[in-house]
Amino acid sequence: MARVTITTLKEKKARGEKITMLTAYDYSTAGMVDAAGIDMILVGDSLGMVVLGYENTLPVTMDEMIHHSKTVTRATKNAMVVGDMPFLSYHISPREAVRNAGRFLKEAGVHAVKLEGGQERVDTVKALLDAQIPVQGHIGLTPQSVHQLGGFKVQGKDLETAQKLIKDAEAMDQAGVFSLVLEGVPTPLARKITEAVSCPTIGIGAGPYCDGQVLVINDILGMYQGHIPKFVKKYANLQPIIAEALKAYKEEVEQGTFPGPEHSFTMKDDVLERLY
């Protein structure tokens, strides 16, 4: 199977085939996501919450993103890997955005970057594309704007904000993003945006009419202890399974039943005799 590229995604949209995307932040998980044939892996700044234990995504640094992105690209053969630009890595100037996005490609080997925002990000997207860096947009409930939005709330519920989101989507599409994440927007609005833009839309809490879907892997596997949004479907509940395994390990070590002979190494008898 050849590596998924932005051309593959365009072709999938043209054929009406859904695009799959999941987050991953480490080598073992990324390898499993890749082997499952998922089209895109997002090294999301959600790592701040689900891996690093921050309250939100704002504290995440470029160095943390690069560190985790490197492990994900090392694990993948087929999926396109997208590096999520953390807060303040692209807000100050388009030049700084190019420098930081360039680090993702040069140091971590990702294939594209994602950034949050609409019309106000057009110049930044153009500067990144000038530097030959493919960009994925992200509008709607943009977690890096949590304080400005007044919390993690569904966006575009009234006419004014819905029309603004359509304008944001069109602006990002015209600027040249290869796809657009729509997060936390009502289903009919996501459908209208998907019809209005030429690039594939990838929904998260945006209903079934987007060209693809993305979710946070820790959420769908039931491995995150924090708040799980309504739009998440748990495809597995690993937390109790892991808790059970850890309890069994503790008991066996304490009772001396682990390690048994099958997990231990022997020595030749003559060496053993001379040792004692």
Residue among 9, 40, 42, 81 that touches ligand KIV (CB under 6 A):
42
Alpha-carbon distance 271 to 211, whole Å? Answer: 66
Residue 254 to residues 125, 181, 251, 257, 263, Cα–Cα distance (Å): 57, 49, 5, 8, 16
Q: Does 204 bind ligand KIV (CB under 6 A)?
A: yes
Cβ(69)–Cβ(110) below 8 Å: yes
Instruction: Select 177 or 216, whichever has its Cβ closest to ligand KIV.
Output: 216
Q: Does 64 bind ligand KIV (CB under 6 A)?
A: no
Residue among 81, 166, 193, 216 that touches ligand KIV (CB under 6 A):
216
Q: 120 an active-site residue?
A: no
Instruction: Select 144 or 192, whichever has its Cβ closest to ligand KIV.
Output: 144
Catalytic choice (55, 96, 107, 183): 183
Alpha-carbon distance 50 to 56, whole Å? Answer: 9
Q: Does 219 bind ligand KIV (CB under 6 A)?
A: no
- From the list 42-50, 164-172, 224-232, 246-254, the region that binds ligand KIV by CB under 6 A is 42-50
User: Least distance from C-beta 87 to ligand KIV, angstroms?
Assistant: 11
Q: Restricting to residues 74-103, name those near ligand KIV by CB under 6 A.
A: 84
Residue 270 to residues 262, 264, 267, 275, Cα–Cα distance (Å): 22, 19, 8, 9
Residue among 39, 45, 173, 211 that touches ligand KIV (CB under 6 A):
45
Q: Restricting to residues 237-266, name those near ligand KIV by CB under 6 A.
A: none
Alpha-carbon distance 45 to 221, whole Å? Answer: 18
Residues near ligand KIV (CB under 6 A) are: 23, 42, 44-46, 84, 138, 181, 183, 204, 214, 216
Residues known to be catalytic: 183
